Amino acid sequence: MLTAIVFLPLLGAIIAGFFGRQIGDRGAQIVTCGAMGISAILGVIAFIEVALGGEPRTVRLMNWISSGTFEVDWALRFDTLTAVMVIVVTVVSTCVHVYSVGYMSHDASKPRFMAYLSLFTFAMLMLVTADNLVQLFFGWEGVGLASYLLIGFWFHKPTANAASIKAFVVNRVGDFGFALGIFGVYMLFDSVQFDVIFAAAPDVAGQTMEFLGFQWDALTIVSILLFIGAMGKSAQLGLHTWLPDAMEGPTPVSALIHAATMVTAGVFLVARMSPMMEYAPTALEVVTVVGALTAFFAATIGVCQTDIKRVIAYSTCSQLGYMFFALGVGAYPAAIFHLMTHAFFKALLFLSAGSVIHAIHDEQDMRNMGGLWRKIPYTYAMMWIGSLALAGIPFFAGYYSKDIMLEAAFGAHSAVGTFAFWMGIAAAVLTAFYSWRLLYLTFHGTPRMDQHTFDHAHESPPVMMGPLVVLAIGAIFSGFVGYEHFVGDGEAAFWGASILMLAREGGENILEMAHHVPTWVKLLPFVMGLIGIGVATLAYVLRPGIPAATAKAVRPLYLFLLNKWYFDEAYDWLFVKRSWQLGQIFWRHGDQSFIDGFGPDGIASMARALAGRASALQSGYVYHYAFAMLIGVSALISWYIVFGG
């Protein structure tokens, strides 16, 4: 059964991908959605058995690589952490599959799209069920491939192609760190198997290791390297530039890959490695700071974007930052809890945005929207639910998970924890602000599109609305239902051995400390959310002149945010242009002028020059030859007489 969960999507992908023409569009959709649906049902059963029943297990499939002591198996590891991820992935993926049937109804290559989606799901499931780092890397790169294919799905669009390459290459930069981290782990533990690593981690703590000429605390450097991989996949500050561009892909892709599942792989990785990370406190501080900065930084950009999908993309980036600082202070369950609730409400937001885009014929710019709420009331309601959950309004899912993360950051009583707390609070205001800005710009005010489009705006078909309802249920209830198990009193029994949290001073673990923070800390995020909503209402409903005036007043800041802190420009100048230049120099000057010039061509031309001189002697006149011969003969005779005798 566990094997079926993982491989059913692959089967669906193969059938739809290779036999799409034989079984037709409808056939491909039925096969992939069916396989996904079964996989999701089995995923729920597995969750009940493994997580609630407390029976972790591992299915070994076969040997993969074995070279000396470097042993890697294909194996599926199911513990609570995996079961949670599996349920999130399969449920959201099923929703997205079904939604895509409607969303892509006008597209020419439906089987290909469905195949890619299923392929992605397979890779993601391989990632979360891995029982060693290398298989995790397989899934890691596999989702990268699927993401590349799906971002570039509309391959006739140059922007989509550029975005897909960017996504792959930037992720590779992260993978570079990840790979080195794997090698480091192997050096330290002589294994890449999770069980072996986790068992030996306490003994390895404190050892040092040489890396790039410096002596480091071994676990710290290895953890940081792995975290660089996580930064790439989860679009953290510095390696985030690919995520907004990835919105070039079809909207269901953004919902599934770039909001709910793939981008959270980094969070999963750190949580998975918690038994090792706990012994590398310095690395965790790095994680906290990066997460906190990203949470704030991405939220500031989200405030200024005009593309509806990009706003949500930056929001994702920011929410991932929250998860990372929660991981950084050691509250792994809180991060995974938010990962789950976020998957529901962010997928809901994206698919609702897709529904809006679908309704008004592929328009994504919010400046050309407005007044749509009467036309598409259900989508409007869904968007509200998603936004309420995102802003952390009480009793919606996000409220529970976001609060526990902020409380943990505060409760950690460390410098970085407090820093993360305040960054998180600042980001919370911005989050609420941009969410309501999005709502108002899209659904309220006067319509800013042409009359024809507005008149033809229509609610999406049931096949798209169904999944939205499912996700909305998740966005409302998943926090309330999961709280007790994930981060409440039942936490220890629920997670079992899959996550390790060392006891802090006073013998409490971080979650207990989080529960004991002052009341104002618990209330602050909610108040901040309300302030954000209030400001947005003021600026976009009551006094619509404010945004333009503000933008004018602080123009440099506005431009700075609008241009996304100029990261793209800086990277382009620093890396892309330089690589190109170096390539040209190496080729034109290195290879052609220098090596060839002195090497083969030089020798050849020298030979040619010599031959040319020699041939000048061959004039073709008989008396020249006769003369030469005479001189030669006399020289020979003289030589013989002088030396021969």
Partner 1 sequence: MLEDWLLTLVTFLPLVGVGFILITTRGDEEEASTAAKQMALLTTGCVFLLSLLIWVNFDATTADFQLVKRIEWIPGSSISYHVGVDGISMWFVLLSTFLTPICILASWDAIKTRVREYMIAFLVLETMMVGMFVSLDILLFYVFFEGVLIPMFLIIGVWGGANRVYAAFKFFLYTLTGSVLMLVAILTMYGIAGTTDIPRLMEAGFSPDLQFWLWLAFFASFAVKVPMWPVHTWLPDAHVEAPTAGSVILAGVLLKMGGYGFLRFSIPMFPDASAYFAPLIFGLSVVAVIYTSLVALVQKDMKKLIAYSSIAHMGFVTIGMFTMTTQGVEGSIFQMLSHGIVSGALFLCVGVVYDRMHTREIDAYGGLANNMPRYALVFMVFMMASVGLPGTSGFVGEILILVGAFQASTWLAALTATGLILGAAYMLYLYRRVIFGALEKDSLKALVDLNRREIAIFAPLLILVFWMGIYPSTFLDLMAVSVDNLITNYTVALGEAAGPALAAK
Using CB under 8 A, list all residues that contact partner 1.
62-70, 74, 134, 137-138, 140-142, 145, 148, 152, 155-156, 158, 161, 164-165, 168-169, 172-173, 175-176, 179-180, 182-184, 186-187, 210-213, 579-580, 582-584, 586-587, 590-591, 595-596, 599-600, 603-604
- Cβ closest to partner 1, residue 17 vs residue 37: 17
In angstroms, give the least distance from the CB of 425 to partner 1.
Answer: 37
In angstroms, give the least distance from the CB of 582 to partner 1.
Answer: 5
- Cβ closest to partner 1, residue 265 vs residue 369: 265
Question: How far does CA 607 lie from the centroid of its chain?
Answer: 58
- Cβ closest to partner 1, residue 34 vs residue 590: 590
Identify the residue whose tokens are 């023409």.
21
Helices (H), 190-307: 194-204, 218-233, 242-245, 251-255, 265-272, 274-277, 281-302
In angstroms, give the least distance from the CB of 186 to partner 1.
Answer: 6
Q: What is the DSSP string of 470-512?
A: HHHHHHHHHHHHHHHHHTSTTHHHHHTTSS-----GGG--HHH
In angstroms, give the least distance from the CB of 602 to partner 1.
Answer: 11
In angstroms, give the least distance from the CB of 484 to partner 1.
Answer: 38
Query: Residues 6 or more apart from 496 whose CB is under 8 A from it?
Result: 54, 56, 79, 80
Using CA atoms of 89, 286, 212, 136 in order, give the dihedral in degrees to the nearest 10.
-10
In angstroms, give the least distance from the CB of 157 to partner 1.
Answer: 8
- Cβ closest to partner 1, residue 142 vs residue 474: 142
Which two structure tokens, joined as six digits, stand for 614? Answer: 């020699």
Three-state SS letters, 195-226: HHHHHHHHHHCCCEEEECCEEEEHHHHHHHHH
Q: What is the DSSP string of 539-602?
A: IIII-TTHHHHHHHHTHHHHHHHHTGGGHHHHHIIIIIHHHHHHHHIIIIIIIIIIIHHHTHHH
**First vs last C-alpha separation in the chain:** 102
- Cβ closest to partner 1, residue 586 vs residue 625: 586
Q: Give the C-alpha distances (Å, rounded to integers) separating 291 from 30, 237, 303, 437.
A: 40, 8, 19, 24
- Cβ closest to partner 1, residue 179 vs residue 292: 179
- Cβ closest to partner 1, residue 214 vs residue 621: 214
Q: What is the DSSP string of 74-121?
A: EEEEE-HHHHHHHHHHHHHHHHHHHHHHHHTTT-S-HHHHHHHHHHHH
Using CA atoms of 28, 31, 37, 38 in order, give the dihedral in degrees to the nearest 10.
-160
In angstroms, give the least distance from the CB of 196 to partner 1.
Answer: 16
In angstroms, give the least distance from the CB of 289 to partner 1.
Answer: 23
> Residues for the chain: how many in total?
645
263 vs 497: CA distance, rounded Å = 25
- Cβ closest to partner 1, residue 93 vs residue 171: 171
- Cβ closest to partner 1, residue 152 vs residue 252: 152
In angstroms, give the least distance from the CB of 388 to partner 1.
Answer: 40
